[in-house]
Chain A
Amino acid sequence: MREGFARAGRLLAGLVLASLVSGAADRPAPFDAAHWRAIFARPDHTPTPPDNPATPEKIALGAKLFDDTRLSGDGMTACSTCHQADLSFSDGIDRHVGHDGQALDRRTPPLWNLAWGLSFFWDGRAPSLEAQAMAPIENEREMAGNLRTALQVLASDPQMPKEFSAAFPEDPAVTQDNLAKALAAFQRTLVSPETRFDRWVKGDDNALEPDELAGFSLFVGKAGCVACHQGWRFTDEALHDIGLPGTDKGRGPVLGVPAADHAFKTPSLRERVWSAPYMHDGSLTTFEDVVDHYADRIVKRPTLSADLPKQIELSATERAQLVAFLNTLSGDDPPRPARLPAKAMTWGASVDAVVASTISQKDRRFSPGAILMKAGEALRILNDDTRVHNVRVDGPAKSFISDAQNPGDTVNIGFDQPGQYDVICGIHPDMRLSVTVSTARAR
């Protein structure tokens, strides 16, 4: 699964970054509608992991559990208490009040299009939707539940075991694993519907007003928004410090890398009309505030993302055009999830793997993206990019975490045991490198 997502992410990142390199970021270039239409085209299916395929029974169970207050400690809080369908699966406030009566640290994120996510929570600490789904249940400030107790309660319900059995015929039991899978399967169905922007992407030149199109041209050009808000979901899945005031360190403590302090996941821009306020702390009330932040209010500090434009000078008209464009990424009516067929991502791990021992990170991409090595060899990863990276290997056979890898730094990793390893960047999770280590004879 991870490899499948990794390849999809690399492909997308490659396309987008190639476009940036080709001229949008640093120098004025004529707006190329055909190019951007290809970049922002919607997918025709929802990816699902091979170990948790979507079935109607599982999705229905997940939807039911999403609304089930029995998962919480006080029996009054469900996932949907904060992730309200009418509010784009968020809650419309800056920070929800927790069980201790104090505002939570971060804003309730909307749940659109998480099927394509690579990491979860604002600080990206959960590697899968399945893992993410369990954390709020036991968080003492959120649902304050106890999974063991909750599972017992569900199992004692006359109906629930039947529904778990229907959803998981291969493992017909009320278990934490199945609970997580059902919740994740439901959340993967929350695909944002088509909007006027999508109609423009499909070729309808009249779908956008002139100001909206001008806003899009700014978005992918002068304003540089596309550096992070990439692809049809308008997120690069990476974690950036965008210069908001505040003491929340975000990704830094998760990685143990101070260079990633204040970095948070790039949020999707889909259906955001319906999910104000904005940013991880809900501190910005309107799209206008968001645009003004990037133009005028960025807090300067060493951890600022390299993908932030150095300086954006936007006139009042240009700001209004950007806002007009952002509006086109939301439906005119309150959104309902789009129906999109699910498809398990089962691409092979080493179809295009090549023999290599040195990896480039230029343009936020491991290159080559899949390599073959022999046990005992060392891998050299050179940061020839303009951004700080953080190389990680997380697996049963090997665990490795680099410190902040500044531009010019090299990270060396030795692989003593044959096997399959996934190397990622902790700051840019769409950077994935597949390493196949074999014995000399096997190679």
Chain B
Amino acid sequence: MKRRKIWAGLGTAVMVAVPAASQATMMDVQTRQPGVEAKADQALLQLAQHQGHGAAAPAATSGGEGDEGGAGGAQLPPALHLYRGIEMIRGHLLVGGELIEASRWADALPHFLHPEGEIYASIRDDLKTFSIAPFQVALKSLSQTVKAKNKEAYARARAALEERLAAAETAVKAKEENGTYFVLETALEVLQQAADEYAEAVEKGRIANVVEYQDARGFVMEADRLVGTVMPAATAKNADAAKAVQASLADLKAVFPSVTPPKQAVKDSGDFLSTIAKFELQLGNLR
């Protein structure tokens, strides 16, 4: 069952098919923020509805399993949509790399196939918009090295792809006036995709779908890395908000103790989403 968040308005995010208790928890979190108060009259509504960057991106191609590149980001402004895609690819690479380090090539393969199969098509037009050279070939080449279980070739192809991703990242960030906030809202988008993946992974308190669990882990870890790159700037803007963001991320990372999932889920998907909502609520203070 595919669950999608429905953003109903300021500070009220509900998720279809989420247990009532979790919804209650989530709403409670969003209406009782400890620490820093959200600046409710500022960016939250825009952020929740993804309308803060001018024209929306073209309708994304529907993805396959997980629909990572598809409807989840279809209405985002092009820059945010593209950066989200880049970061999701990196999330896949991150968790795939962990599996390769453990010599689990077969387990790693889906995480190298998904970027090309599910994400790339959705950002192809964005790449043109920002005059970024296509890198589908690099994705294909990398996934083949994983299929071939060739570590040397993998390392080379991975480095080549990361170079392309870095160039794309530089291009997409170049026109953003508020780079720190742009990074943070991108991280939020990636976390929301992680929530989708995690919801797919958890069933009756257990991790029923390992690949989706690993997808969510990759996205969370990558979002954490990404946020870390702007943390000094965020702290300079609002130290308490930055600290709260880090706390949310720490809470999310604890859901994924290892690349191999625990027998019992650390959080249910509602709690997971609630933690992301905490993260989101701080962003208005870091704009």
Q: Chain A: residues with CB nearer than 8 A to chain B?
A: 84, 86-87, 91-94, 97, 273-274, 276-277, 285-288, 316, 320, 323-324, 327, 334
Contacts and interface: CB of A to CB of B under 8 A. Distances in A.
Contact of A334 (B131, B133, B144, B156): B144
Interface of B: 131, 133-134, 136-138, 140-141, 144-145, 147-148, 150, 152-154, 156-157, 160, 163-164
A13 B156 CA distance: 37
Given A91-B150, A91-B153, 17 more contacts: A86-B144, A87-B144, A87-B148, A92-B144, A92-B150, A92-B154, A92-B156, A92-B157, A93-B150, A93-B152, A93-B156, A97-B152, A273-B137, A273-B140, A276-B156, A287-B137, A327-B137
11 contacts: A84-B148, A87-B148, A92-B145, A92-B148, A93-B152, A93-B156, A273-B137, A273-B141, A276-B137, A276-B138, A327-B136
Nearest to A274: B144
Contacts of B154: 92
A288 B160 contact: no
Chain A to chain B: the 8 pairs with minimum beta-carbon distance, closest first:
A92-B153, A86-B148, A285-B160, A93-B152, A92-B145, A273-B137, A276-B141, A86-B147
Contacts of B137: 273, 276, 286-287, 327
Contacts of A327: 136-137
A86 B137 CA distance: 15
Nearest to A276: B141
Nearest to A285: B160
B138 to A, nearest CB: 7
Contact of B133 (A92, A93, A97, A323): A323
Which of the listed residues A84, A86, A92, A285 has the most CB atoms from chain B within 10 Å of its own CB?
A92
A86 B149 CA distance: 9
Contact of A274 (B140, B152, B156): B140
Contacts of B153: 87, 91-93
Contacts of A277: 156, 160
A381 B148 CA distance: 50
Given A273-B137, A323-B133, A286 B152 contact: no
A65 B150 CA distance: 21
Contacts of B138: 276, 286
B230 to A, nearest CB: 29
Nearest to B147: A86
Nearest to A90: B153
Which of the listed residues B134, B154, B164 has the most CB atoms from chain A within 10 Å of its own CB?
B134
B264 to A, nearest CB: 37
Given A87-B148, A288-B133, A323-B133, A94 B140 contact: no
A259 B284 CA distance: 69
A367 to B, nearest CB: 41
A149 B131 CA distance: 58
B100 to A, nearest CB: 14
A277 B160 CA distance: 10
Contacts of A276: 137-138, 141, 156-157, 160
A92 B147 contact: no
Contacts of B145: 87, 92
Contacts of A87: 144-145, 148, 150, 153
